[in-house]
Structure 1
Amino acid sequence: MSNKYIGQATRRVDGRAKVTGQAKYAAEFQTEDLAYGVVVSSTIAKGKITAIDTSEALALEGVIQVFTHNNVSGLAWFDKSYKDQDSPPGSPFRPLNGPEIKFSQQPIALVVAETFELARYAATLVKVDYETEGPVEVEIRDHLDKAFDPGKGKQGYKKPKNRGNFAKEFAKSDVRFETSYYHGAEHHNPMEMHASTVIYEADDHLTIYDKTQGVFNSQNYVTGIFGLSKKRVRIVSPFVGGAFGSGLRPQYQLFMATLAALELKRSVRVTLTRQQMFSFGHRPATLQKLSLGASQDGTLQALNHAAYSETSRFENYTETIVDWSGAMYKCDNVSYDYKLIAGDLYTPLDMRAPGAATGVYAIECAMDELAYKLRMDPVELRLKNYTEEDANQGKPYSSKELKACFQQGAEKFGWSKRTPEPRSMRDGKTLIGWGMATGMWDAMFVPSRAKAFLSADGKLTVSSGTSDIGTGTYTIMTQIAAETLGMPMEQVTFKLGDSSLPLAYLEGGSATAASVGNAVRITCENIREKLLKLLSRTSYAPLADRPQEDLEFADGKIRLKADPEICISYSDILKQAGENYLEDTSTALPNMLKQMDYARNTHSAVFVEVRVDEDFGTVRVSRMVSAIAGGKILNPKTARSQILGGMVWGISKALEEESQVDSNFGRFMNHNYAEYHIPVNADIPAEMEVIFVEENDDVVNPMGIKGLGEIGVVGVAPAIVNAIFHATGKRIHELPVTLDKIIMEDLVVE
């Protein structure tokens, strides 16, 4: 059969639109009579507004209105605590709902003017008086005594159950150690800033171009707040310039722009500044404590994983931080502890591989420390405690090719040439270190819908209201549709990012490829069945009475397998049957009966080489190999890009990224690209290898897709930290690993 696209390294179908500027983002849609809004942010983190003077701003010609808590009232959500699809337990922050200040840079006013420049200037003229409260609490390590158990958290999260007797077996272990790991807050910092362009139409009908990872979440948010029917609100988001989780929850610019449009009865755009991008959501600062006990042969006897993580005063944000350690390794005596510490900051927000990027960092560094104490190879220790079962759930993995990841990754990297002693590999004054770590993430499948429309000209349009945040969703869905229906990709168009399209969940958690992909497959299979039925109504006798097993769908035709020259095009079938089109809308649902007996995850093995200047402590990652067991790979080209992006982010997490908060003012100080450090080209090694290990899994979903967005970053940071120890002999327990931490004299040298 021709038209084999699944598994092929296909170029992005939206690539040309992006590089030529034809792709439009939320702040680029234009309309007549468009007004511009600029948000005024609070300068304190805790207290209340005692007075707000907007007279100077309103006196400027061209300033239309200034919205504050003094002139905004009567909204539906002020009477109830509306929750979006990604909200944690608690009472979500509601802008302009009173004088109280709950975090620094809280939006306290919106200035709307005829031009953006005028609105921006007028915003500087808004005068605000505050009554501050203190002290401001933002550093979790200063307030461990205030930690509390969150119970059930975000989306039903519940801490895994302890098993065995940790205390007893830890005390009996031949080798044991306790240590802690910390990282501060990190911000998503996508290239495209959050923006909403609200096009106002008659009778309060709105078309909203929003930066979001879920158009239906934004739609529910707007209708819930403003008491509008869904028929009146359409959310459109065809392209997203990066999000990494920041677009899962609707952000406050959507509220501000919609509020202004409805009140003024005209179209309004609100775009946040780079500084304001630091005012909502971030990966939470987290302190983790690990205790490991093992026998002399490396068998884990006892494991305790505790975490203290940040949340806001008004919501309890939870992550699966401690879960991974007891799932990754075989150990009969495991205990967990997970507590939150509320601070005077906005609620944290899911950030690529939430929980795993944090928890796996700690357990994988701890396993490396254990390996050195046992004088074992780090890979050997992991194989010693390898498990085919997630003991947290008491279920076997639906598939787990992690051993192949170890083998293929180590071979490609040349791991066997490593000398185990720290500081034993060098190039002149440059210390060379090799490190490795394991990665793990969930393989999710959520209900999704897709529609297929085959027109009389033989063109296929498939659609779903999902998003493409840069992962290649447009491309892989086109590939699935084209192969399923046997059509050239050039004749297939995939549409997404529109709330008028079939329902899909948020694009997050690496679930989209599996969920929407299977919906696309099903709806295209149904079009095939409809074509076969129409075939019997045509005058094309050579195929009309043939059994289905003798036929194939290829090149936009139904043809005889034994003789492909005997064929009829889909277009001719429709014309002869007197139909202008065929359409189908279908839903993909997880097979819960099949899945309930298995744990479903992706796995990885990451190998890293670092070069550390012995005098100055500077670190350069010089080589990386990431071996991935991620189920069916739909497109090796876009898949590799996903993993490479994760590897780059892992370098960033390990060595550079840190949101520095002022403990007196509760304000993120480095809220810009100049001081929030992320990698540039010079920081990235030329040698970055990605290996996709073959893995077949018919439990996760019929297509065997697991998703790759998150697994690429998990495991990278600990591999780098472990390599730094191998190079220097210094254990660093706080991210990012900056040169000052490396040259400090009081670091433990093993």
Structure 2
Amino acid sequence: MSESVVGKGIDRLDAILKVTGKAEYPAETGVANIAHAAVVTSTITRGRIAALDTRAAERAPGVLAVVSHLNAPKLPGIDKRASPVDPALQLFQNDKVVYNEQPVALVVADSLERARHAASLVVPRYESASFTVDMNAEAPRAYAPPNSRFPLDSQRGDVRSGLSAAKVRIAQSYTTPIEHHNPMEPHAAIVIWQGTDHATVYVTTQGIFFVRQRFASLFGIPKENVRVISHYIGGGFGCKGVPWVYAPLAGLAAKVAGRGVKLVITRQQMFSMVGYRSRTVQKVALGADSSGKLTAISHDVLSATSRVDEFTEPAALQTRMLYACPNTSTSHRLVRLDIPTPTFTRAPGEAVGTFALESAMDELAYALQMDPIALRLRNYAETDPDKNLPWSSKSLRECYRRGAEKFGWPARRPPPRSMRDGRWLVGLGMATATYPANQSDASAIARVRADGTALVQAGSQDIGTGTYTIMTQIAADALALPIEKVRFELGDTTFPETPNSGGSRTASSVGSAVKMAALAVRKKLAEVAVADSKSPLHGLEVEGLDVADGALYAKSNRARRDSFGDIVARSGAAEIAVQVDNKEKEDRKRYSTHSFGAQFVEVKVDESLGTVRVSRFVGAFAAGKILNAKTAQSQYQGGIVWGIGLALHESTHRDERLGRIVTRDLADYHVPVHADIPHIDVVMVDETDPYVNEIGSKGIGEIGITGVGAAIANAVYHATGRRIRDLPITPDKLL
């Protein structure tokens, strides 16, 4: 066998293209005679469009069309609910306004500048209706959504009895704000119609097949008639995970204008049109005996959704499985507001849910006068208490040990306000990290050519995580080819189908399909060789062959060798190809599959100003087989940076009088910058998991953010003696 490249920290194969500007993102696709569109959005929060004056816009230079509910083609699939986001009320099919900055018209012109200018000339007149965007006001009308994608409630044992029996109890409420994704690349689509029922769509998306299905459904055409292409994505983090309004709007505009249309929504419009992380109010109660053994856990989550659709933030899911406790209950409830529908945001549920749970665990540790790590080890779950299944693998103990050692946790002095550095109060905090190790069905095709190179294709997406690179590594290993002889292609619905890139599932799902396709084409090469009278391997059994350096050889006699290129060339075909439709690994069903980690942080707090600085950070993680050490470190660090933003910076503010978001750009919506981030040490704990999937890898794109908010809040408490339960932790809350 050739030397393995899986696990090595090789550079991203697309890095040069990206840093030289040659990587083509959807909005940069060169399309002849392209028209540009600009969206007009509502200035009211609820009501109807009473009139729409488009005359000045239509007369403006370069304008090709103004599309609105007055003239938009009717969409035959508008009532088919095939997505968590129903764009029916945003696609000009009626005159209703259901949230502020909802699209109400679209201007198409021969240049972007002319389209935007003409859009400013459209004059809507509204009939306003009463509205509410106040989650607290609507809380009494909270309800259990009937069509949840996960079980809303869980019950194990008797929580009331468990709390009554506890020697120490904690019961607190924790809140997290609305947060917006803000990837560097804005959302965009180019739609070109070929005739009336075939379309090519270039789009920023984490799920090209999802876009294909939804686009086809809306326009009432077969999905095979829609080709979706997305070769590079400039960040997604969940907001590009579902089909949003801009692609079908571009499709409508292209039909009306009779030519291809490009629609790039503005940074400000990204705060209303493409989802966000919902505000949550989480009530957590913990009970423990005098030794720290948990007797009860309850975790109740309230989040907000829109009037016209439902999205539930699954913030209590980790509470069901993270600690061994005989009495546990969780619940999720929604309130309806006159706002856009929320969506998946990096580690949906767990990012904010671990803030509540792990803050409460820290409060319990202080109440028990117990080390926070010792408390967690006292309640270590040897099996999944929710599913009553063994773990496929779990190395959390080692994460605690190695993280604490690297961080220097034993030097921590437990009392709050006991550590200083000059004028700074110093605090140390920790929390547990966890995220499910998901896998979905995926397909891939592997092709070996007469020149000895291989081409592997799968629909999929690279949302900036390094998918091009790790898939090439997986294929190269399975084929025993040098990495420079393998090319991996993605981002096109003409390739084999794969799932969305969300839920940390791309590596495990697509990677497994790529490996199985590569192994299958290798076997096919062997079958061709042993049946070929001109092959040095003729007459041997396939099982008697091995592979190295792009060639098959006899295990019993390495001199009997046949290269891939020669096998293909003698076959008379240009290539030998095999497609594999890989299903979720059967073994998985007998196990609970999760990644785990431990977050350790040092903060320094200026007592006079209330400013918080993260001065040290160590994250220790166990996530199965690491496919690329360099990209893995980048993903862990990126998740931790997101967690620092969650804890200290990010919060979307809406004017409750107008229903309008006022933090609508990166000047007002604060995200961490380089000066906010210290050196982040990442400890990758080796872990072998033979059950999780065919490549033994667990997704790592999201676990890095989990636990970070709580670790920082816990460190702030240790520094100041002030317990902040409402994120973000801003100076006003510490003064």
The answer to whether structure 1 residue 700 and structure 2 residue 720 are counterparts is no
SS in structure 2 opposite 1:292?
A: strand
The answer to whether structure 1 residue 141 and structure 2 residue 130 are counterparts is no
Query: 1:227-268 CA distances to partner (integer Å, 9 max, x unpaired)?
Result: 122343211000000000011111111011111112222111
The answer to whether structure 1 residue 691 and structure 2 residue 683 are counterparts is yes
Match of 2:103 in 1: 107
Q: How far apart, CA to CA, are the structure 1 residues paired with 2:525 and 2:330?
A: 56
Distance 1:606 1:576, change over 3 A: same
Q: How far apart, CA to CA, are the structure 1 residues paired with 2:90 and 2:160?
A: 45
Match of 1:614 in 2: 607
Match of 1:344 in 2: 338
SS in structure 2 opposite 1:33?
A: coil
Query: 1:151-182 CA distances to partner (integer Å, 9 max, x unpaired)?
Result: 441x3x11242122211221231111211100
Moved more, 422-431 or 559-568: 559-568
- Contact 2:61–2:114 (CA under 8 A) maintained in structure 1: no
Q: How far apart, CA to CA, are the structure 2 residues paired with 1:550 and 1:535?
A: 12
- Contact 2:530–2:540 (CA under 8 A) maintained in structure 1: no
Match of 2:482 in 1: 488
- Contact 1:360–1:714 (CA under 8 A) maintained in structure 2: yes
- The amino acid across from 2:65 in the alignment is Q
- The match for 1:126 among 122, 125, 133 is 122
SS in structure 2 opposite 1:351?
A: coil
Q: How far apart, CA to CA, are the structure 2 residues paired with 1:416 and 1:138?
A: 47
- Contact 2:89–2:96 (CA under 8 A) maintained in structure 1: no
- What is the TM-score when the length of structure 2 is the normalising length? 0.97
- Contact 2:649–2:728 (CA under 8 A) maintained in structure 1: yes
- The amino acid across from 2:182 in the alignment is N
- Contact 1:163–1:332 (CA under 8 A) maintained in structure 2: yes
- The match for 1:383 among 357, 377, 380 is 377
Q: How far apart, CA to CA, are the structure 2 residues paired with 1:161 and 1:249?
A: 27
Match of 2:182 in 1: 189
- The match for 1:358 among 334, 352, 362 is 352
Match of 2:662 in 1: 669
Query: 1:248-302 CA distances to partner (integer Å, 9 max, x unpaired)?
Result: 1111110111111122221110000000001131100000011111111111111
- The match for 1:169 among 162, 166, 176 is 162
Match of 1:748 in 2: none
Match of 1:56 in 2: 56
The answer to whether structure 1 residue 116 and structure 2 residue 112 are counterparts is yes
Q: CA deviation at 1:207?
A: 1.6
- The amino acid across from 2:333 in the alignment is K
Q: How far apart, CA to CA, are the structure 1 residues paired with 2:184 and 2:496?
A: 28
Match of 2:324 in 1: 330
Distance 1:500 1:541, change over 3 A: closer
- The amino acid across from 2:482 in the alignment is P
SS in structure 2 opposite 1:678?
A: coil
- Contact 2:690–2:696 (CA under 8 A) maintained in structure 1: yes
- Contact 2:230–2:491 (CA under 8 A) maintained in structure 1: yes
The answer to whether structure 1 residue 39 and structure 2 residue 39 are counterparts is yes
SS in structure 1 opposite 2:286?
A: strand
- Contact 1:82–1:225 (CA under 8 A) maintained in structure 2: no
- The match for 1:734 among 721, 726, 735 is 726
Moved more, 261-270 or 726-735: 261-270
- The amino acid across from 2:483 in the alignment is M
- Contact 2:535–2:562 (CA under 8 A) maintained in structure 1: no
Q: CA deviation at 1:550?
A: 5.0
- The amino acid across from 1:70 in the alignment is L
SS in structure 1 opposite 2:475?
A: helix
Q: CA deviation at 1:145?
A: 0.8
Moved more, 547-556 or 190-199: 547-556
Q: How far apart, CA to CA, are the structure 2 residues paired with 1:561 and 1:471?
A: 38
Q: Map of 1:72-87 to 2, 5 A cutoff? A: 72-78=72-78, 80-84=79-83, 87=84
- The amino acid across from 1:630 in the alignment is A
Query: 1:602-639 CA distances to partner (integer Å, 9 max, x unpaired)?
Result: 11100001111121111111111111111111111111
SS in structure 2 opposite 1:731?
A: coil
Q: CA deviation at 1:545?
A: 3.9
Q: How far apart, CA to CA, are the structure 1 residues paired with 2:616 and 2:88?
A: 44
- The amino acid across from 2:670 in the alignment is H
Q: How far apart, CA to CA, are the structure 2 residues paired with 1:221 and 1:530?
A: 37
- Contact 1:557–1:570 (CA under 8 A) maintained in structure 2: yes
SS in structure 2 opposite 1:189?
A: coil
Q: How far apart, CA to CA, are the structure 2 residues paired with 1:541 and 1:244?
A: 50
Q: How far apart, CA to CA, are the structure 1 residues paired with 2:564 and 2:396?
A: 44
Q: Map of 1:221-620 to 2, 5 A cutoff? A: 221-280=214-273, 281-538=275-532, 542-548=536-542, 550-560=544-554, 566-592=560-586, 594-620=587-613
Query: 1:464-514 CA distances to partner (integer Å, 9 max, x unpaired)?
Result: 111110011111110011110111111111111111110111110011111
Q: CA deviation at 1:729?
A: 0.7
Q: How far apart, CA to CA, are the structure 2 residues paired with 1:94 and 1:553?
A: 56
Unaligned runs of 5+ in 1: 744-750
- Contact 1:481–1:492 (CA under 8 A) maintained in structure 2: yes
Q: How far apart, CA to CA, are the structure 1 residues paired with 2:226 and 2:331?
A: 44
- The amino acid across from 1:148 in the alignment is Y
- Contact 2:277–2:345 (CA under 8 A) maintained in structure 1: yes
- Contact 1:212–1:240 (CA under 8 A) maintained in structure 2: yes
Q: How far apart, CA to CA, are the structure 1 residues paired with 2:34 and 2:553?
A: 54
SS in structure 1 opposite 2:52?
A: strand
- The amino acid across from 2:98 in the alignment is K
- The amino acid across from 1:262 in the alignment is K
Q: CA deviation at 1:104?
A: 0.7
Match of 1:649 in 2: 642
- Contact 1:182–1:285 (CA under 8 A) maintained in structure 2: yes
The answer to whether structure 1 residue 217 and structure 2 residue 210 are counterparts is yes
Query: 1:321-376 CA distances to partner (integer Å, 9 max, x unpaired)?
Result: 11212311111111223211111111110001001111111000000000001110
- Contact 2:319–2:330 (CA under 8 A) maintained in structure 1: no
- The amino acid across from 2:234 in the alignment is G
Q: How far apart, CA to CA, are the structure 1 residues paired with 2:445 and 2:179?
A: 38
Match of 2:706 in 1: 714
Q: How far apart, CA to CA, are the structure 2 residues paired with 1:466 and 1:542?
A: 38
SS in structure 2 opposite 1:626?
A: strand
Q: CA deviation at 1:204?
A: 4.6
Q: How far apart, CA to CA, are the structure 2 residues paired with 1:333 and 1:695?
A: 31
- Contact 1:82–1:92 (CA under 8 A) maintained in structure 2: no
SS in structure 2 opposite 1:434?
A: strand
Q: How far apart, CA to CA, are the structure 1 residues paired with 2:204 and 2:501?
A: 12
- The amino acid across from 1:553 in the alignment is V
The answer to whether structure 1 residue 659 and structure 2 residue 658 are counterparts is no
Q: How far apart, CA to CA, are the structure 2 residues paired with 1:37 and 1:201?
A: 19
Match of 2:617 in 1: 624
Match of 1:98 in 2: 94
Query: 1:672-708 CA distances to partner (integer Å, 9 max, x unpaired)?
Result: 010100011101102x111111111122112211111
Distance 1:541 1:114, change over 3 A: closer
- Contact 2:207–2:501 (CA under 8 A) maintained in structure 1: yes
- The amino acid across from 1:680 in the alignment is V
- Contact 2:347–2:702 (CA under 8 A) maintained in structure 1: yes
Q: How far apart, CA to CA, are the structure 2 residues paired with 1:76 and 1:699?
A: 45
SS in structure 2 opposite 1:176?
A: strand
Q: CA deviation at 1:141?
A: 2.1
Q: Percent identity?
A: 43
- Contact 2:38–2:107 (CA under 8 A) maintained in structure 1: yes
